[in-house]
Amino acid sequence: MDESAKAFGTSPAHVVGEGAWKSRFAVTELACQSMGAVGSAVADLIAALNLGPKPDVQVDRRLASLWFTWSIHPQGWEVPPSWDAIAGDYQTRDGWIKLHTNAPHHRAAALSVLECRADREVVAQAVSGWDANTLEDAIVEVGGAAAAMRSRAGWQAHPQGAAVAAEPFVHWEQHPGQVREWQAKADRPLAGLRVLDLTRVLAGPVATRTLAGFGADVLRVDPASWGEPGVVPDVTLGKRCCHLDLKTGSDKAVLYELLAQADVLVHGYRPGALDAMIGADRPDNLIEVCLDAYGWTGPWTGRRGFDSLVQMSCGIAEAGMGWSGSDKPHPLPVQALDHATGYFMAAAVVSALTRAVRGDGIHRARLSLARTAEVLAKLEPVSGPEITGSTPADLDDWIENSPWGPAKRLKAGVAVAGAPMWWDRPSAELGSSPASWG
Ligand SMILES: CC(C)(COP(=O)(O)OP(=O)(O)OC[C@H]1O[C@@H](n2cnc3c(N)ncnc32)[C@H](O)[C@@H]1OP(=O)(O)O)[C@@H](O)C(=O)NCCC(=O)NCCSC(=O)C(=O)O
């Protein structure tokens, strides 16, 4: 039985089709396992709610793999680039480091340590005078986001690598409580379920986009200062998005109102960051699922992180370098840790709903990108025709009227018989809806 089926108490989904991302790691298998986990959890929920017999679940290898890239296909316009001009890999005196500078405060932190301006060549020159681990520590110390390239063996011997490997795949906590009834139907099992979404970039937003695909009412909250134009068109599909500044009393009061009426809270702040803003108390009925980058135990819990940084830390980029014969870090072909963690989080939400419906209390779950990397490292790649990208045959006929222009989407990668994934609304600009339940 796969690790996620064990964690969510589901049976593995039926996988059809062919194709695989070309990689040293089993990226396509991870796509199938994580999307299959959501489908299987939804099937269990339909049965637990007595909406019908447990439906069959099928994952398409090719489409699941493609959902690990961009699902949106703009018709006549372009999504802006998602990477900042100085983000990326740089050679240090003794190896490699990746700087993650997409957020302005992370970029300012890196530049303050390097004492240079935001120009790629100037940054490369400055980085070349540092040892990778020393520079990583210095940038992390001032609130930035960077990762030195480590080998797999180096990570396994590192206190953080050892801590993450020893963690459960999903940290579950059980609390007394019951979920409010929502308007579940056999063909729309999450209809009326209120999901408050405090996630950013890819991993968390993939989780809530998936819940919206089964009918959940998702409301995303961001501060007005936060922007991610390169990913918002892809990940806000099916959601409403509002602005709240959780550092002001009046907006905090609005958030408490929203939370009091919510069924599910999904977030991706560093451990303790959300509690520091809104306190640690949660309504008794609330299912809470969150992620962090480096895991929930060990010296690096609380470290800022993104998929591409975790790939550097945990040995994926280094192993890819040897496998591909490249002279620089060689990451996965897609941001697989983000996407897989997002689908696993969605599976955790649905699995928690099933447990609540069965009278087993309220379950809360914590996952991490680094622990997902351990799942990936154990999977065996299956060969098949190489997947290189989508073709028109992979796209749905539906035309999404996004705020940026018309777009098509990939066909769904997972099919729950009788409960197809589809989205009630197009993608949305951050802050474009009122901060209230619809
Ligand atoms: C994504 C991050 C790197 C972002 O880094 P930071 O913004 O520097 O860190 P924090 O989590 O501490 O963010 C909280 C900061 O934002 C402020 N903050 C956040 N939301 C609000 C609202 N709504 N209102 C007011 N202030 C806010 C908060 O007070 C903190 O500010 P201060 O108090 O002033 O600090 C980190 O949150 C993180 O590591 N998260 C866990 C992993 C994760 O989700 N990674 C991204 C997705 S995965 C991925 O790789 C990907 O998608 O790509």
How much distance in Å is there from the Cα of 434 to the middle of ligand 1? 22
User: What ipTM was predicted for this assembly?
Assistant: 0.94
Sheet with 400-402: strands ordered across:
72-74, 405-409, 400-402
CATH of domain 3-81+167-296+333-416: 3.40.50.10540
Active-site pick, 263, 292, 338, 394: 338
Quote the ligand 1 centre to 330 CA distance (angstroms).
Answer: 26
Is residue 1 pLDDT above 70, yes or no?
A: no
- Percent of the chain scoring above 90 in pLDDT: 95
Neighbours of 19 (CB within 10 A): 18
CA of 309 to the centre of ligand 1 (A): 15
- Residue 57 near residue 12, CB atoms below 8 Å: no
Helix (H) or strand (E) holding 292: strand 287-292
Domain ranges within the chain, ordered by starting residue? 3-81+167-296+333-416
Which of 146 and 6 is assigned the larger pLDDT?
146
Instruction: Confirm if 2 and 11 have CB atoms less than 8 A apart.
Output: no
Pocket test for ligand 1, best of 252, 269, 372 (most atoms within 8 A of CB): 269
DSSP string, 16-31: ES--EE-SSS-HHHHH
Mean of pLDDT values over 137-146:
98
Whole-number Å distance, alpha carbon 220 to ligand 1 midpoint, is 14
The mean pLDDT of 23-51, rounded to a whole number, is 97
The pTM of the full predicted model, rounded to 2 decimals, is 0.98
Give the Cα separation of 438 and 433 in Å (integer): 10
Q: pLDDT for 265-290, tens place per residue?
A: 999 999 899 999 999 999 999 999 99
- Give the model's pLDDT for residue 2: 83
Residue 338 annotated to the active site: yes
pLDDT, average across residues 389-400: 96
If you take atom 2 of ligand 1, which residue's CA is the nearest one?
304
Write out residues with Cβ below 6 Å of ligand 1.
105, 143, 145, 200-204, 221-223, 244-247, 268-270, 273, 277, 291-293, 304-307, 338
pLDDT tens readout for residues 300-329: 999 999 999 999 999 999 999 999 999 999
pLDDT at 383: 83
